[in-house]
Structure 1
Amino acid sequence: MSATTVPGPADGGSPSAPLPVPLTSRPLTMADSRAVFELMAAQELADVGEVVIEEADLVADWQRPSHDLAASSVAVLDGERMVGYAEADGERGDAAVHPDHRGRGIGTWLAHRMQDLARAQGARRVGMPVPEGSPGDRLLASLGYGVRWTSWVLQLPPGARVPERPLPPGHRVRSAREDERRACWTLLEDAFLEWAERERESFADWTARVTERPGFEPWHLRVVVDAEDRLLGCAVVLLAGDCGYIDRLATRRDQRGRGLAQALLVDAFAEARAHGATRSELATDSRTGALGLYERVGMVVTSTWLHRAIGL
């Protein structure tokens, strides 16, 4: 789906009504990671039929040195129970409402509060991913949030394998050494910034998300190297329950078209299976142009997400 014009405040940026009594709100703290995970898991289960989020995802994101959780988040409480939340990290937002508490105006209030949080950080717009056709998608559309890009979650069907792609002579895939982590960060950021509209993530923030993520093990960071042991590609693979999930994958720009990405894909899923995974998944979006690549190696789309955003 092509990007659409992102509306401005006149299309949805007006202040929202107060939260209905007896709901209250407050900023999040690190101690809220479990409650937010349970809230997001309930929403994902209702909207896409599976839980995608992990508590470790939240902890890894919130523990970044550059991140001020209290200044960028809000929780909605019904008594002591968290029934909604929103956060904004510059232009990147997220929010959730427990399915049992929809229809109370919480989502609308959070959509506007997310704008306030982003605006206070100097952002020109804010957006978040929502499952296509979900209540959240319909709500944000009604509030003037336009579609900027489309994302897809893909899964390798049970019993299927990504076709092997022989590496050039002398090349191999292995776990990254500790002294290669900065080079992995550089390679991944260089590749993703070819199409992502954001500032370069600092090495400290990348470390917080990747190598300091709860549960990280050295085999999670995979690299493809040449005969001189030079880094040509990198993948971050996570083990989420029984799912091997590729969080990031990229090859150096001057090394593309040689089958290195496919070799990394095969290796990452194989490593995850060796560590107990029975499913293999990844996500991509319309900015990368990689959907066809993953479909050609046998992966199938299991859910479609829209990134909806609004100008501030």
Structure 2
Amino acid sequence: MELPPGLTTRALSFDDAQSVTDAMAADEVAATGEAAIELADIVSDWRRPSFDLATSTIGVFESGRLLGYAELGGHDRADAAVHPDHHGRGVGTWLAHWVVATARSRGASVVGMPVPQGSTADTLLATLGFRVRWSSWILELPTGSAIPPRPLPEGHTIRAATDEDHRAAWTVVEDAFLEWSDRERDPFEDFLAKVVQRPGFRPWHLRVAVDPAGSVVGVSSLVMAQQCAFVERLAVRRDVRGRGLAQALLADSFTQARAHGADRCELSTDSRTGALSLYEKVGMVVTSTWVNRAIDL
């Protein structure tokens, strides 16, 4: 399909990162009432060594202003947003077609993207034949609440990760996530770009649980966006699960965050993990629901 007259497209560059952040934030506010995206999310994502900005992104512009964008961030994972001031002009439909064509050219059999449930983007993708692949939820620990403490197994400790822990932390996270996620293992260098090389990273953002031998057996990684702490990764090695390490790591991360000025603590989970009820049992509440809409190619 063609865009309306006067609109142009091109691959994005790092100079566009703020404009992409602004468009995504406006789209999130229109769909959910608040913006979660921040510039560091875009920059760290685009800095991944496996990501080619020139061939994996597209922007739609009018008189030099970004109206919407899309990126193919992995083999079957895309992200896209259109500024709400420009909904209804065909920009989102054009971007969806670009995502499908780009993914198909790379040999993907399916491609999908996360959108807020019931949003304009959700409705559009459904109309274009995208099915719900899974659901996900943002949960918040209410102000004044705390994750119930869990004693650590004998000889285990939780501390900030050191440089020497990074590869082991990556291994624990990838091993755990690949139990339910149908994708290739993310490269270690991408983990570094997204976590420890992310703008604003501080050592206390990456916490590890270690056993009596000093081996990393659990990981919690968070980001701080103003006064909101968001746990992006929480993983425990399979052979030591069921001993309270995940809850202990979560409680520790939120305690650290509040000590560093956070007044909100959040995380996300999706229907592939089966963990929603576990987070609700420790006092977290769902604040928004998202769906991953995908289409077979």
TM-score scaled by length of structure 2: 0.98
Alignment of 1:29-40 (within 5 A): 29-40=13-24
In structure 2, what is the equivalent of residue 53 of structure 1? 37
Deviation at 1:183, TM superposition (A): 0.3
Aligned-partner Cα distance in 2 for 1:223–1:44: 32
In structure 1, what is the equivalent of residue 72 of structure 2? 88
Q: In the comparison of the two structures, how many residue pairs are matched?
A: 296
Amino acid at match of 1:232: V
Aligned-partner Cα distance in 2 for 1:120–1:32: 25
In structure 2, what is the equivalent of residue 129 of structure 1? 114
Match of 2:184 among 169, 180, 199: 199
Deviation at 1:166, TM superposition (A): 1.0
Amino acid at match of 1:70: A
Aligned-partner Cα distance in 2 for 1:219–1:160: 21
**Match status 1:288 vs 2:268:** no
CA contact (8 A) 1:155 1:279 kept: yes
Deviation at 1:226, TM superposition (A): 2.0
Amino acid at match of 1:153: I
Structure 1: stretches of 5+ with no match in the other structure: 1-16
Deviation at 1:123, TM superposition (A): 1.4
Alignment of 1:270-285 (within 5 A): 270-285=255-270
Aligned-partner Cα distance in 2 for 1:53–1:224: 28
Aligned-partner Cα distance in 2 for 1:123–1:206: 23
SS in 1 for 2:30: helix
Amino acid at match of 2:104: R
Aligned-partner Cα distance in 1 for 2:209–2:121: 40
Deviation at 1:168, TM superposition (A): 1.7
**Match status 1:65 vs 2:57:** no
**Match status 1:176 vs 2:161:** yes
Of 220-229 and 181-190, more deviation after overlay is shown by 220-229
Deviation at 1:228, TM superposition (A): 2.5
CA contact (8 A) 1:72 1:118 kept: no
Amino acid at match of 1:42: A
Aligned-partner Cα distance in 2 for 1:204–1:272: 26
Deviations 1:162-212 (A, max 9, x none): 111111222211101110100000110000000101000111111111111
In structure 1, what is the equivalent of residue 26 of structure 2? 42
Deviations 1:275-307 (A, max 9, x none): 111000000000001101100000000000000
TM-score scaled by length of structure 1: 0.93
Of 292-301 and 211-220, more deviation after overlay is shown by 211-220
Aligned-partner Cα distance in 2 for 1:292–1:130: 22
In structure 2, what is the equivalent of residue 27 of structure 1? 11
Of 47-56 and 115-124, more deviation after overlay is shown by 115-124
Alignment of 1:96-107 (within 5 A): 96-107=81-92
Deviations 1:21-74 (A, max 9, x none): 111111111111101000000000110011111111111111111111110111
Aligned-partner Cα distance in 1 for 2:154–2:172: 22
Aligned-partner Cα distance in 1 for 2:173–2:3: 42
In structure 1, what is the equivalent of residue 239 of structure 2? 254
Aligned-partner Cα distance in 2 for 1:282–1:162: 13
Structure 2: stretches of 5+ with no match in the other structure: none
Of 137-146 and 86-95, more deviation after overlay is shown by 86-95
In structure 1, what is the equivalent of residue 286 of structure 2? 301
